[in-house]
């Protein structure tokens, strides 16, 4: 199934059921007013939602054109947002470029931070940020929306808790990150609101693109219309089962929590990168200094996950412009 959220200026928007080809949709209405409600009541609602989805794809429902520009994030807010760093190639590049000491247990214990989940951005929202001097960077990722997850769940059972898969852009302010990491308290100001592609999908919609708790799709990224990277999500060193189990090691997770992969990163240089910071560290390794600057106001970033060699992807497109935030009146 495929879902989106119509932005209606309420906290959670209105749930849309979207056709497989992303051309049309219907409102879920009284069946499930919001996606958060649907995830929280999945067991009782799944069969009815699937009947509606099947009827929509068969042309048996009166539908409307699907307009992703009217969409909020699939979940405009979430009970929790935890983002990992599941691609060790990315972490290893950072260590090599800056000569930092290896992170203890990096290969066996996932890195993860807890981000803000109260104000996600839609796929075509402008991205207001306070200053270009903060080192504005995009980070292309995948994520999952989970059901209730019990504390102490193992990785295999954790995968059974995945309800939906999403594509996202975890914005970063690189100039702020090092200071916040040195405090030992982790990210806060360095991580502004995360953006999401318009459509959340059930894992079965990905076919062979969902295997071993990984999204085996290419994440195609352009910056100001210039190709930037197309790394494949299948190279995760930790699968989503591992990430969910790590997040639930000492706490339970409530239905609607989102777990992210961290920046998609491939060992092959030909794949490019899904964030500016990674390109810059490669430049440090190759040339002794970074040559690529961070984003400026007015810059545009576009992200779309696709099957290699195929047409449009399952999640739709993130396409956003960075703008200067207006000072409060």
pLDDT tens, residue by residue, 132-184:
999 999 999 999 999 999 999 999 999 999 999 999 999 999 998 878 877 77
Q: Which among 203, 68, 200, 44 has a CA at the least distance from the CA of 122?
A: 68
Among candidate residues 160, 131, 127, the one with its CA nearest the CA of residue 146: 160
Q: Is the dihedral of CA 229, 217, 247, 256 positive or negative?
A: positive
Give 98's pLDDT tier (boundaries 50, 70, 90). low
pLDDT of 209 higher than 90: yes
Fold of the CATH domain 81-324:
Fumarylacetoacetate hydrolase; domain 2 (3.90.850)
pLDDT at 94 over 80: no
Instruction: Answer whether 87's CB lies under 8 Å from 264's CB.
Output: yes
Ramachandran region, residue 178 (left: φ > 0; alpha: ψ -120 to 50; beta: rest): alpha
Where along the chain do its domains lie? 2-70, 81-324
Residues in the chain: 329
Beta bridge partners of 214: 211
What is the per-residue pLDDT across 23-60, written as a single tens digit (0 to 9) for each? 999 999 989 999 999 999 999 999 999 999 999 999 99
Percent of the chain with pLDDT over 70: 98
pLDDT band at 329 (very low <50, low <70, confident <90, very high): low
Identify the band that residue 289 occupies on the pLDDT scale cut at 50, 70 and 90: very high
Region of poorest pLDDT, from 41-55, 119-133, 214-228, 298-312: 298-312
Q: Residue 140 and residue 81: Cα distance in Å, rounded?
A: 16
Question: How much is the average pLDDT of 190-211?
Answer: 97
Q: How far apart are CA 27 and CA 49, in angstroms?
A: 11
**Residue 99's pLDDT is what?**
62
Q: Is 274 helix (H, G, I), strand (E, B) or coil?
A: coil
Determine which of 138-142, 229-233, 274-278, 308-312 has the lowest per-residue pLDDT on average. 308-312
Task: Give the strands of the sheet with 318-324, arranged side by side.
Answer: 127-129, 318-324, 300-306, 218-223, 226-229
Q: What is the mean pLDDT of the chain?
A: 94
pLDDT of residue 178: 79
Phi and psi angles of residue 57, each rounded to the nearest 5 degrees, phi first: -70, -25
Which pLDDT score, from 0 to 100, does residue 105 have? Answer: 84
Residues 285 and 297: their CA atoms lie apart, in Å, by 28
CB atoms within 10 A of CB 300: 14
pLDDT number for residue 91: 82
Give the span between the Cα atoms of 228 and 144, in whole angstroms.
24
| CA separation for the pair 118, 193 (Å, rounded) | 9
* DSSP letter (8 states) at residue 212: T
């Amino acid at each position: 199934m495929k879902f989106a959220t119509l932005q209606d200026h309420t906290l959670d928007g209105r749930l849309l059921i979207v056709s497989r080809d992303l051309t049309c949709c219907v409102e879920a209405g009284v069946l499930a007013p919001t996606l958060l409600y649907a995830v929280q009541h999945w067991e009782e609602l799944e069969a009815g939602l699937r009947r509606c989805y099947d009827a929509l794809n068969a042309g048996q429902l009166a539908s409307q054109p699907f307009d992703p520009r009217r969409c909020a994030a699939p979940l405009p807010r979430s009970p929790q947002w935890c983002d990992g760093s599941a691609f060790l190639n990315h972490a290893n590049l950072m260590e090599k470029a800056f000569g930092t000491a290896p992170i203890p247990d990096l290969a066996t214990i996932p890195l993860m931070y807890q981000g803000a989940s109260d104000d996600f951005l839609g796929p075509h929202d402008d991205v207001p940020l306070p200053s270009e001097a903060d080192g504005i960077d995009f980070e292309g990722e995948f994520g999952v929306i989970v059901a209730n997850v019990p504390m102490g769940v193992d990785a295999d059972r954790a995968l059974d808790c995945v309800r939906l898969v999403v594509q996202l852009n975890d914005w970063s302010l690189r100039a702020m990150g090092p200071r916040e990491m040195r405090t030992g308290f982790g990210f806060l100001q360095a991580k502004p609101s995360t953006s999401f592609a318009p459509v959340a999908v059930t894992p079965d919609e990905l076919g062979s693109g969902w295997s071993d708790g990984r999204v085996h799709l290419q994440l195609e990224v352009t910056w100001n219309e210039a190709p930037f990277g197309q790394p494949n999500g299948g190279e995760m060193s930790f699968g989503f089962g591992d990430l969910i189990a790590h997040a639930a090691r000492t706490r339970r997770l409530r239905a609607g929590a989102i777990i992210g992969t961290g920046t998609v990163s491939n060992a092959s240089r030909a794949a490019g990168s899904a964030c500016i910071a990674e390109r810059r560290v490669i430049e440090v390794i190759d040339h002794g200094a970074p040559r690529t600057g961070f984003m400026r106001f007015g810059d545009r970033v576009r992200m779309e996950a696709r099957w290699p060699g195929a047409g449009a992807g399952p999640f739709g497109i993130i396409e956003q412009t960075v703008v200067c935030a207006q000072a409060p009146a």
